[in-house]
Structures are given as structure tokens and as C-alpha cells.
């Protein structure tokens, strides 16, 4: 991760196809295309990759979450339970629909704690969104049981976990709907792009229409299409889809490289008794895009993360003070800093953030270090990196 590290003639060929016929838009202009439909082809490839019936490409992972929630009728005043550790896009996508993000604690999987989810359910709760952060997964059976028990929509944000699996199912294909990002730093990149994945035909049709101004996409005259309901523009372009089409065909190659590099570093860190690793639920396999480990306490976690920086060990983070990925620094959410007026429902629904604390999440995040696994490293570079990491950790715990 990320896929841009290994761009090749395969990506260039797909992009040249689009430039040669001149049609950059995914819909219409049938006669000019010379048979090239990159978005359609990518959706077909992703359907096979995710072992899912339906895939709707959109403009980003953020758009994917909003489109997925809209496709099941989530809107004003509805509550969606989500984790404290994720990317800001998770709550942005919920709030864009006028819905209320209800943040709850994570556990040692670094994803939603099923007990915290159950405790947060109210009469306004309509769905639960697990975020498969840093290439791994939550306790999917337990989370699904909670959703089934309370008749809640189960959404899987697998934006950082393409290539991972749980009990033989690809991450992103397990919940009612799955969401993916193909932005520039994902294992599969389109530059910008995302996807909604589902086996439910109605959810797919709704996402298909909603992401293109409500167009029903019936017939071959775009100007004559009807609009069954309101929609917005979350389309992906043919150029972005072309890059992703080449990349998704290379996913097994990318995952194999990630696994090799991940395993070298993990084996080295396993020699340190004070280091423990994030829990992967039984039956799960990570995507190996990140290596996440815990140190004994918050102080050592912060010290080692800083020492990694000063010793030239890059792409390793302790998220406790991170502005993008953890609740502690999301002041713009807590204080509702918005360019436009926030609805009464959302204002009232987010009042809990003024006093809510997340000690359990702090316990895990402060001790955690998350290391990106690059595709471009040579085996020698990975081994040297592992040796340096071991040395630095031993010096600071």
C-alpha cells in the first residue's frame, strides 16, 4: 500500500484507451467509445473480487458512505453508530445526510466494541457502521448479531482493508452494504474514487440512481431518462476508473508483497516481549496494508513513535494526537464549526460530545503504533527497517 508505488504499462494502457476515444464521462456518448466502458468493466471486476452481486462506483470513499446510507433511507435525525478511531470522512458522510454520528469505543481489534455498540442504541438508532481500520476487521459475527437483534442496518467501511477477509468472505462484502475508497494512498488507487458493494438489488438500484442526479439509466438516451427520486453527483470518471481497472487486476500481486513485508517486520517485533499485536478475530485475515502493535503503556507508545521519527523510520504513527483519525483532536466536530447552519436535530444529537469521554479507546490508541506497509520496499530495505525498529523500541521501553 499504496498502489501508485507500482504504476506500470498496464495502467497506462487503460488510460490511453480513454484518451484515444475522448469520452471521459462514464455515462452516455455511446457511439464515440469504441467499445470502451472502463467504469462498467471495473464494476464487473470488483464484483468478482468482492464476491458480491452489485457494485456501484462513485467519486470517493466518503461519497460511498453517504450513498450507501442514503440508499437505505438514512436521513434527518437518524443515528448511526460509528467508532472513535476512523477517518473524519466517516462522520462527515453521515452528517451530510442530516443524520447523527454516535461515536463509541473501540476494543483491541482497533474497531467497534460490540458491547459499546449495544449500550449506545436508542430509539433513533438506524444503523451501525464498522470501520475496518488499518487493514483488519472487527468482531463481525458479534456486530452482526447486535444489528440483527435490533433490526439495524449494518454498514462496513472497508476503505483501508481491500484484500482482507473474514471466514473466507472479502472484507466489505459481509454487511448489508460495504464501502471502499480508491484514493491516491489506497492499496488499489484510481487517484480518486470509491464503491458501494451489496447483494441487495434495491439498495444497488437506489445507489445507482442517487449517485447520478436520480437518473434511472434506462434506455440509451441519457436526455430521455427519468428521475424516480432526487439525487446528487457522485460519479466517477472514466479516467479514474481506467486506472482502477488495471490496479484491481493486480490486487493479488499487491497483497502478496504486503504480506511478505508485513511478516518480516512482525517476526522481528515478536522477539520483544513487551510488544503485543492487535487482535484479529478468529477466521480473519488482514490485508497486510498496515502492521499495528501495542506497547505496554501510553508513555512508551508516544516515546517510541517520536523516536521512530527522529531515527528516520517513516510511515509509522501513534494516533493519540492525530488530527484526522481519532476523536481527541476533532474539535471542528465537537464545536460544530460549519460554513452553514447545522440542523436542529444534528446540533441536539451531538451535544453528548461536549462531555463524553472515551477512556477505553484512549487505552488502546495511546499504546498503539500503526505502520504502513509499502509495496516498493526491497527485501533488504524491509529487513534493515525491522532491525532499526527493534533497536529503537528496546531503547525506549
Is 148's pLDDT higher than 90? Answer: yes
User: How many Cα atoms within 13 Å fall on the side-chain side of residue 178?
Assistant: 30
Interval 102-120 mean pLDDT: 98
Q: What count of other Cβ atoms lies within 10 Å of the Cβ of residue 237?
A: 20
Q: What angle do CA 69, 73, 76 make, to 5 degrees?
A: 90
User: What is the model's pLDDT at position 332?
Assistant: 97
pLDDT in tens, 197-246: 999 999 999 999 999 999 999 998 999 999 999 999 999 999 999 999 99
Phi-psi region of 253 (alpha: psi -120 to 50; beta: other; left: phi over 0): alpha
Q: What count of other Cβ atoms lies within 10 Å of the Cβ of residue 22?
A: 11
Q: Which three cell numbers, joined as nine digits, stand for 166?
A: 473474514
- In percent, the amount of the chain with pLDDT more than 90 equals 99
Burial 65-103 (b: 16+ CB within 10 A, else e): bbbbbbbbebeebbbbbbbbbbbbbbbebbbebbbbbbb
SS3 37: coil
Concatenated DSSP letters of 100-129: EEEEE-B-TTSSB-HHHHHHH--TTEEEEE
**121: confidence class by pLDDT, cuts 50, 70, 90:** very high
Please, what is the end-to-end C-alpha distance for the chain in angstroms? 29
Q: Which three cell numbers, joined as nine digits, stand for 37?
A: 466502458
Is 1's pLDDT higher than 90? Answer: no
Q: What count of other Cβ atoms lies within 10 Å of the Cβ of residue 347?
A: 13
Domains of the chain: residue spans and CATH: 3-250 (3.40.640.10), 252-396 (3.90.1150.10)
**103: confidence class by pLDDT, cuts 50, 70, 90:** very high
Q: What count of other Cβ atoms lies within 10 Å of the Cβ of residue 268?
A: 19
Q: Residue 272: which of 353, 188, 154, 369 has the closest Cα?
A: 369
Interval 67-94 mean pLDDT: 98
pLDDT in tens, 334-361: 999 999 999 999 999 999 999 999 999 9
CB 320 within 8 A of CB 298: yes
User: What is the model's pLDDT at position 74?
Assistant: 98
Q: Distance between CA atoms of 82 and 75, rounded to whole angstroms?
A: 16
DSSP secondary structure code for residue 191 in this structure: B
SS3 289: coil
DSSP secondary structure code for residue 321 in this structure: G
CB 3 within 8 A of CB 187: yes
Contacts of 195 by beta carbon, 8 Å cutoff, 6+ apart: 43, 46, 55, 56, 57, 58, 64, 179, 180, 182
Q: Residue 378: which of 369, 370, 386 has the closest Cα?
A: 386
**331: confidence class by pLDDT, cuts 50, 70, 90:** very high
Interval 134-160 mean pLDDT: 98
User: What is the model's pLDDT at position 306?
Assistant: 97
- Give Dmax (Cα) for the chain: 69
Helical H runs in the chain? 9-21, 38-49, 61-71, 89-95, 114-120, 140-150, 201-210, 238-248, 251-269, 298-310, 331-334, 344-349, 359-367, 379-396
pLDDT in tens, 255-277: 999 999 999 999 999 999 999 99
User: How many Cα atoms within 13 Å fall on the side-chain side of residue 34?
Assistant: 9
User: What is the model's pLDDT at position 307?
Assistant: 98
Q: Is 53 a residue of the active site?
A: no
**137: confidence class by pLDDT, cuts 50, 70, 90:** very high
- In angstroms, how far is CA 130 from the centroid of its own chain? 10
Interval 95-120 mean pLDDT: 98
Which one from 38, 126, 144, 186 is the annotated catalytic residue? 186
Q: Residue 358: which of 332, 327, 321, 320 has the closest Cα?
A: 327
Amino acid at each position: 500500500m499504496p498502489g501508485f508505488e507500482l504504476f506500470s504499462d498496464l495502467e497506462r494502457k487503460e488510460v490511453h484507451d480513454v484518451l484515444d476515444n475522448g469520452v471521459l464521462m462514464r455515462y452516455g456518448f455511446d457511439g464515440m467509445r469504441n467499445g470502451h466502458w472502463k467504469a462498467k468493466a471495473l464494476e464487473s471486476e470488483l464484483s468478482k473480487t468482492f464476491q458480491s452481486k452489485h457494485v456501484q462506483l462513485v467519486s470517493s470513499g466518503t461519497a460511498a458512505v453517504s450513498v450507501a446510507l442514503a440508499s437505505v433511507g438514512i436521513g434527518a435525525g437518524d443515528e448511526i453508530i460509528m467508532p472513535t478511531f476512523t477517518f473524519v470522512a466517516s462522520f462527515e458522510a453521515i452528517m451530510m445526510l442530516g443524520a447523527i454520528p454516535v461515536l463509541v469505543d473501540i476494543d483491541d481489534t482497533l474497531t467497534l466494541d460490540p458491547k459499546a455498540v449495544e449500550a449506545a442504541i436508542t430509539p433513533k438508532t438506524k444503523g451501525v457502521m464498522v470501520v475496518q481500520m488499518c487493514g483488519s476487521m472487527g468482531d463481525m459475527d458479534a456486530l452482526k448479531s447486535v444489528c440483527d437483534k435490533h433490526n439495524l442496518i449494518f454498514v462496513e467501511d472497508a476503505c483501508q482493508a481491500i484484500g482482507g477477509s473474514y471466514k473466507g468472505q472479502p472484507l466489505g462484502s459481509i454487511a448489508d452494504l460495504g464501502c471502499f475508497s480508491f484514493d491516491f494512498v489506497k492499496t488499489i488507487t484510481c487517484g480518486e474514487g470509491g464503491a458501494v458493494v451489496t447483494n441487495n438489488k434495491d439498495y444497488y438500484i437506489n445507489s445507482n440512481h442517487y449517485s447520478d442526479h436520480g437518473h434511472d439509466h434506462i434506455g440509451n438516451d441519457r436526455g430521455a431518462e427519468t428521475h424516480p427520486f432526487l439525487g446528487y453527483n457522485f460519479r466517477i470518471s472514466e479516467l479514474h476508473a481506467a486506472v482502477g481497472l488495471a490496479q484491481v487486476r493486480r490486487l493479488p500481486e499487491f497483497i502478496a508483497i504486503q504480506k511478505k513485508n508485513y511478516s518480516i517486520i512482525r517476526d522481528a517485533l515478536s522477539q520483544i516481549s513487551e510488544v503485543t499485536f492487535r487482535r484479529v478475530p478468529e477466521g480473519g485475515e488482514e490485508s497486510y496494508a498496515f502492521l499495528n502493535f501495542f506497547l505496554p503503556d501510553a508513555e512508551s507508545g508516544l516515546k517510541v513513535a517520536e523516536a521512530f521519527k527522529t531515527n528516520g523510520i517513516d510511515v509509522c504513527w501513534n494516533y493519540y494526537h492525530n488530527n484526522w483519525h481519532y476523536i481527541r483532536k476533532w474539535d471542528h466536530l465537537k464545536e460544530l464549526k460549519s460554513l452553514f447552519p447545522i440542523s436542529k436535530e444534528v446540533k441536539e444529537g451531538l451535544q453528548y460530545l461536549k462531555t463524553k469521554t472515551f477512556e477505553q479507546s484512549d487505552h488502546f490508541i495511546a499504546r498503539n503504533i500503526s505502520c504502513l506497509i509499502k509495496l516498493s520496499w526491497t527485501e533488504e530495505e524491509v529487513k534493515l527497517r525491522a532491525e532499526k525498529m527493534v533497536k529503537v523500541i528496546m531503547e525506549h521501553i
